[in-house]
Amino acid sequence: MHCQELKKVCRAALLAVATLLVCGCWNGRLLVAAEQPWWVSRGGDSALVWPLTKTALTNGFLPRFLVIGAQEDAPATLRRELAAHRYAAAVVSPLLSQDPRGYASSFAATRFLLVDGPPTVPGQPNAIPLVFDRASSFRLAGVAAGLSIADEAGGAVTSAFASRIAVLTSAHPPGTTAEVIAFTAGVAQALDGGQPTIRTLPDPIDRNAVRLAIEGMRKDRAEIFLLFMGAADSWSLETLRNAGGCAIVSDWSASDSFPGQVFLSIETDLAGGVALFLSNKGKSGVVNGPVRIAPGGARSVPAQVLSQMRVR
């Protein structure tokens, strides 16, 4: 975290603690537990600590951040932390969210927000999924990709142009099948029924596999890539910088890597989702987090799409 940002966090923390003591609006401690590489893929300390700290303090919670290394036993580390301190609420990142029964049942007094976890957790009322419904944003991104290719060709619309759009995904992508379907539907809407090329890389993904896949699709004239691999997306942006082409990504503005290769980014507002969770203490069910689309610097966004992006 930059020095100025750290000073802002410290000032806000001191002010918030003073306010809590004076006004009595103390709701307890909030744990934010995240595993690597997810934490760094979302921008790490520089992009997450300050907004999540502000959200916690605004809602009367004192936050603590626990970032778990890739080689650590993440569930065991989380359980040790929960046993060592009393937390009123906890936000747990995707890997930790997959099996909430392993800790939620043992710490019934803590409410858990599961980031990208299972949509329901039967019999576990203190485990609440944070869901980002991104399908409509993926459809709009597909429309944008198709119109951008058509505009580049002088405004002509033909299904053959869809071959210039590619989806690069992994065997276990970070999103849903519905999001890819929505994206391809958007491309088809813009390009007279045309379908983008979809290529799935087997796990585990490495840099060389990403490079070879992109270079091969570039030879087949692919220009816009929907990246759907999670942490490996940054390798793709690095390859695109050398091979040409640009990408549609998820949560790029958090990490701010290779902006010249980003066409659009589908952004999930983690702090906004956490704010909804904290402000509805005592309630169970699903929290629907805010989603928006942010333009990158790779190519102009078609006017028809830009007008819709502004209202998201």
Q: What pTM value is reported for the model?
A: 0.83
**Peptide linkage before 290 cis (omega within 30 of 0):** no
With a CB cutoff of 8 Å and minimum separation 6, the contacts of 120 are 129, 286
CB 57 within 8 A of CB 16: yes
The mean pLDDT of the chain is 88
Give the model confidence (pLDDT) of 79-116 as tens digits.
999 999 999 999 999 989 988 988 999 999 999 999 98
- pLDDT by residue for the chain (312 residues), tens digit each? 445 545 555 555 555 555 554 444 689 999 999 999 889 888 889 889 999 999 999 999 999 999 999 899 999 999 999 999 999 999 999 989 988 988 999 999 999 999 988 888 888 999 999 999 999 999 999 999 999 999 988 878 899 999 999 999 998 887 889 999 999 999 999 999 999 999 999 988 899 999 999 999 999 999 999 999 887 888 899 999 999 999 999 988 877 788 899 999 999 999 999 999 999 876 778 999 999 999 999 999 998 888 887 544
Would you list the DSSP string of 92-151?
E-HHHHT-THHHHTT-TTSEEEEET--S--TT-TTEEEEE---HHHHHHHHHHHHHHHHH
Instruction: Kindly report the number of other CB atoms within 10 A of residue 66's CB atom.
Output: 18
> In CATH, what number does 3-131 get?
3.40.50.2300
The sign of the torsion formed by the CA atoms of 270, 84, 60, 280 equals positive
Q: For 172, left (φ over 0), alpha (ψ -120 to 50), or beta?
A: beta
The residue ranges of every structural domain in the chain are: 3-131, 135-268+291-309
pLDDT of amino acid 141: 97
- The residues facing 92 across adjacent strands are 33, 114
Same CATH topology for 3-131 and 135-268+291-309? Answer: yes
Instruction: Choose the CATH number for 135-268+291-309 among 3.40.50.300, 3.40.50.2300, 3.40.50.150, 3.30.565.10.
Output: 3.40.50.2300
Block residue for tokens 């003591």 = 21
Pairing of strands 197-201, 28-35: unpaired
